[in-house]
Amino acid sequence: MTDHTQRWIELRRRERQADGTWSCHYVIFEFGPRAWRCKKGSADGTFSTLEEAEAAALTLAQQIVDSLQTSPPLDRKRHA
């Protein structure tokens, strides 16, 4: 069975806090053959630069996407 699901990550809501630190939120969009959904989140903590916040959010979102990938089909060779 093949997986016809398409996923992509969008970084949103880059926020500078009152103390000068940054946070960044991600949205993972997932489009399947019959429906779509999204998951929102952000990396834990705050970061000293916007680039660090974006990198942390992207890394976390990519880990989630990687965990959603389907496993390869099982080898169904007959054993004698």
pLDDT in tens, 17-75: 999 999 999 999 999 888 889 999 999 988 999 999 999 999 999 999 988 875 454 44
Model pLDDT, residue 1: 41
Q: Residue 37 class from Cβ within 10 Å (0-12 exposed, 13-18 middle, 19+ buried)?
A: exposed
The length of the chain in residues reads 80
Model pLDDT, residue 74: 45
Model pLDDT, residue 41: 95
Of 11, 8, 4, 7, which Cα lies nearest the Cα of 50? 11
